[in-house]
Structure 1
Amino acid sequence: MKNNKNTLRLAMLTLAAAAACAQAADETVIEQSFRPYAKDKPSFAGLSAGMTINQGNVAQFKDILDPAFYGFIEKGWAELKVGETTSFDLHPNYVEATRQGMDKIQLGAKPGEIKGWVAGRPFPQEPDVNDPRAGEKLAWNYKYGYNWGDSAAIQPFYWKFRDMNSGKVERTIKFNFHFLNFTGRVNQDPMPAITPNPSDLFRGIYVNVLEPHDVRNTQLLIHRAQDDLKRDNSWLYLGFQRRVRRLATGQVTDAFLGSDLMIEDFEGYNGRISDMKWTYKGTRFMLMPFYNHNDLSLDSETHKDSEGYQVVAFGGQGGCFPNITWQLRKVYEVEAAPVDAGHPLAKRVHYMDAQTFTVPRTISYDRKGSLWKTFTIGQAHPDHHLPVNKGSGVSIDDSFSMIDVQAMHCTSGQFKGVVDAKLSPPEMFSVQHMRATGN
């Protein structure tokens, strides 16, 4: 009897030790995923905060630049100011949701299928180059990331269409953009989901044009289903026609309002996981556009704000490059090739930030495999931005530049991003709202 008790006690101790080891291993995964710079910051020979990378010294930094931006500096089109690597800590509730979901989430049999996700980062483990679906897992981490948190607004949002040779600004469009997560909510009530949600939506995007007059009150509404295998429902309201029409699938890859962006380009990638074949190409340290907005030399000449807020300034070739600082950061390189043979692109190469899972750099290649467009989305630390954004844990989209290298043309973006639930109520994300606003 005594031997049985000792055996049982030993078994319980063994199970407890195993559970403690598993918990410790999980915490290590969480720490590595959300705090990659807690112990050591990345470094590279000759690189230091405060320096400028230009045509004269860019060759020595080729290994930490993506090939497109390396080419821009090599040609003298842009210079790159180096900042100190800093941690962009996501909201603790998002981290905790990831912890609660650890090892409970699995990919389905087909791309676009996922099981067990409620909230947080689905796959916080380091990607394995030998895993044929590693790229798909990283894509899910992006889709279910904390970009703009549970909801946010960009108001106003200025797009400028620029001739890259002359620097002439051909057109300026002023927008309001709104984002809302219907599920996976971790910070704004209601959590974890908005109900009722009869269409089982994951996310909504609503866009309204404020200026100029000829496109004023043009509106775009995107509904993304929780089920990735379902196509987005998208509607466009044209102010001069005063009617709402549903967008055809192919229109998300057309130039949006004559810009250099497709609707599918929004936020780095604005489409379904199942629309692409995702391939993980490796992990590396790269210079990425992360900075403190309030520490920059900002645009004091245009778009003056009644609250004193100033947008990011632009310079370089054609005025197509944001005047920001770049940090050396841990990055996942992921290739996304369209499943549809009729897609205008052969592939995009996304450089995903390993801490935030934003996509600050993307290179797009045409059907012939030639470099076509390159997308930069500047990421601002929320604690060095608008007071309302402090403590939000949102890596703030703060500037963008989409460059068409074949047409020598670009579209630049200047933001006022606000993380405030009151600005993006659920009723805004409806066709009825578009009609009411339009009329």
Structure 2
Amino acid sequence: MKTLTSVIVLLCAGIASAANAAALKPGDTIQASNLDARQTDTFEGHAIHDLLTDRMQELIRKEGLVITLAASKPMVLGKDFTAATKANAGKAKYNPDTRLVEGWVAGIPFLDVTADDPNAAAKLVWNGYYAQPIKNIQDYPSYAYLFISEKSGLERRQVWRFLRYYMKGRLGADKVVEGDGSILSKTLMYATYPNDIRGLGLFVQRYDSPKLEDSWVYLKSVRRTRRLSGGAWMDPIGGSDQLNDDIEIFNAHPTWYASYKLLGKRWLLVTANSTAVTWDKKASGDAEFPVIDLAHAPHWNPKDTWEPREVWVIEAVTPPEHPYSKKVLYMDTQFPRSYIAEAYDKKGDFWKWMYYGLKTIRTGDGDHGMISATGFTIDYQRRHATVFILGDDARLNTPGIKAEDVNLQQLEKVSH
């Protein structure tokens, strides 16, 4: 009888909670002070507790994360991107023996992935590797790396230049492939501020094969370029909290990871259409970067708007030599970009949380493409964060840029 009474009490409490649930509106916030009360409230038909991962709940409750709700918007994908995906549908095949994709031309290789496909997770990762909706050229004249400590707040900042040229899967171009087809992309990045690192740079050539990428770094101390080991993809970027592998959350050839597992599909609050002013170059102090809550400890929480999106949840298991044991990725079901990831150490303990705020912009050829307006890599064991802030001069498909503009000689030229 006592057990039956307890069940009745719990049922009544649940009914009362549901009856008192509110439909939240854009602009409403979810924070530590109201998290418990808003668990059964809804937004756009989804209960709040269903829109937050357990990790996000913990960050709200214990780490000061505040989520401001925004109405969801249809995602605008590039016409060239959509056309290439449609034109090449069904051509790509996944080979489970080699773990490679055969027959990919351009666009999303696997458009209709289903949860019951035993290779679903691998296919989704390959989608992200080959077909992020970013056009043929990523041209970022300025982006900042901010180094943030829980104790002291913003420690220092760096400003870098980034240029990536895609040699394969080119959209809306006369040639879908440039060169002999062995190279997927070429990337040039170098520091422009502060003066003590100005000229420090990196050139990376990524192959369309499991072959490790070729990387060269320019060292100011000897005024020479040096070739890096093939394992540089797993190394930290400078003194940051971000590995090369963490750029855009996942920056590795899919076969370099040991395995993938699809954990499911769900709805999640993410930043799909960033509305925040990320970098106010006319301001100073904390006001220069209004997209970060620098004024309040732990000083690294994002300040943007969040909307519901349906995502795939993918577990990516690393190779033994990797610093992490695994990453858990939250990738949009409509296009292959991840918004959030969790990284775990070799003991299986939570280590880092990665959050990217996405935004659609007009490209240099009048189409649309997607950029990461911000990228947060937060090390909760070290109590330190590295935040990527993209300048408002970011461009995609800049007219006039050619493959030969992204090479080792260019790194040496700009670094002197």
Same-fold status (TM-score > 0.5): yes
What is the CA distance between 1:62 and its match in structure 2?
3.1
What is the CA distance between 1:173 and its match in structure 2?
0.7
Q: 2:407 aligns with which of 416, 424, 430?
A: 430
What is the CA distance between 1:76 and its match in structure 2?
4.7
Q: For the structure 1 residues 365 and 202, does the alpha-carbon distance in structure 2 shift closer, same or farther, using more than 3 Å as the test?
A: same
1:271 aligns to what SS in structure 2? coil
What is the CA distance between 1:94 and its match in structure 2?
1.5
Q: What pairs with 1:79-94 in structure 2 (closer than 5 Å)?
A: 79-94=66-81
What is the CA distance between 1:249 and its match in structure 2?
2.7
Structure 2: which amino acid aligns with 1:267? E
Aligned twin of 1:74: 61
Aligned pair 1:412/2:412, yes or no? no
Aligned pair 1:254/2:238, yes or no? no
Q: 2:267 aligns with which of 273, 278, 285?
A: 285
Q: 1:144 aligns with which of 108, 114, 130?
A: 130
Aligned pair 1:176/2:153, yes or no? no
Aligned twin of 2:103: 116
C-alpha contact 1:154 1:178 (8 A) present in aligned 2 = yes
Q: What pairs with 1:154-303 in structure 2 (closer than 5 Å)?
A: 154-167=140-153, 169-187=154-172, 189-194=173-178, 197-198=179-180, 200-227=182-209, 229-276=210-257, 277-293=259-275, 296=276, 299-300=279-280
1-structure distance, mates of 2:280, 2:166: 34
1-structure distance, mates of 2:289, 2:273: 13
1-structure distance, mates of 2:120, 2:22: 30
Structure 2: which amino acid aligns with 1:105? A
What is the CA distance between 1:221 and its match in structure 2?
1.4
Bigger Cα displacement from structure 2, 150-159 vs 59-68: 59-68
What is the CA distance between 1:398 and its match in structure 2?
0.2
Structure 2: which amino acid aligns with 1:337? V
C-alpha contact 1:312 1:398 (8 A) present in aligned 2 = no
C-alpha contact 1:207 1:221 (8 A) present in aligned 2 = yes
1-structure distance, mates of 2:216, 2:182: 17
Moved over 6 A (4+): none
What is the CA distance between 1:53 and its match in structure 2?
0.8
What is the CA distance between 1:179 and its match in structure 2?
1.6
Q: Provide Cα deviations, 1:362-410, integer angstroms capped at 9, x if missing partner.
A: 1100000011111111101326xxxx57953212210111100001100
Structure 2: which amino acid aligns with 1:175? W
C-alpha contact 2:372 2:390 (8 A) present in aligned 1 = yes
Q: For the structure 1 residues 177 and 371, does the alpha-carbon distance in structure 2 shift closer, same or farther, using more than 3 Å as the test?
A: same
Q: For the structure 1 residues 220 and 352, does the alpha-carbon distance in structure 2 shift closer, same or farther, using more than 3 Å as the test?
A: same
Bigger Cα displacement from structure 2, 422-431 vs 260-269: 422-431
* Percent pairwise identity: 25
Aligned twin of 1:398: 373
Q: 1:342 aligns with which of 321, 334, 337?
A: 321
What is the CA distance between 1:58 and its match in structure 2?
2.5
What is the CA distance between 1:66 and its match in structure 2?
2.6
What is the CA distance between 1:52 and its match in structure 2?
0.6
Structure 2: which amino acid aligns with 1:230? K
C-alpha contact 1:268 1:359 (8 A) present in aligned 2 = yes
Structure 1: which amino acid aligns with 2:81? Y
Aligned twin of 1:364: 343
Structure 1: which amino acid aligns with 2:249? G
1-structure distance, mates of 2:277, 2:195: 31
Q: For the structure 1 residues 122 and 147, does the alpha-carbon distance in structure 2 shift closer, same or farther, using more than 3 Å as the test?
A: same
Structure number having the greater helix percentage: 1
With normalisation by structure 2, the TM-score equals 0.85
C-alpha contact 1:401 1:410 (8 A) present in aligned 2 = yes
Q: 1:332 aligns with which of 302, 308, 312?
A: 312
2-structure distance, mates of 1:275, 1:49: 41
1:331 aligns to what SS in structure 2? strand
Aligned twin of 1:51: 28
Q: 1:99 aligns with which of 86, 101, 120?
A: 86
Q: Provide Cα deviations, 1:211-240, integer angstroms capped at 9, x if missing partner.
A: 11221111111211122x211111111122
1-structure distance, mates of 2:158, 2:77: 31
Structure 1: which amino acid aligns with 2:382? A
What is the CA distance between 1:420 and its match in structure 2?
3.6
2-structure distance, mates of 1:438, 1:76: 40
What is the CA distance between 1:303 and its match in structure 2?
6.6
C-alpha contact 1:313 1:323 (8 A) present in aligned 2 = yes
Q: 1:318 aligns with which of 291, 298, 311?
A: 298
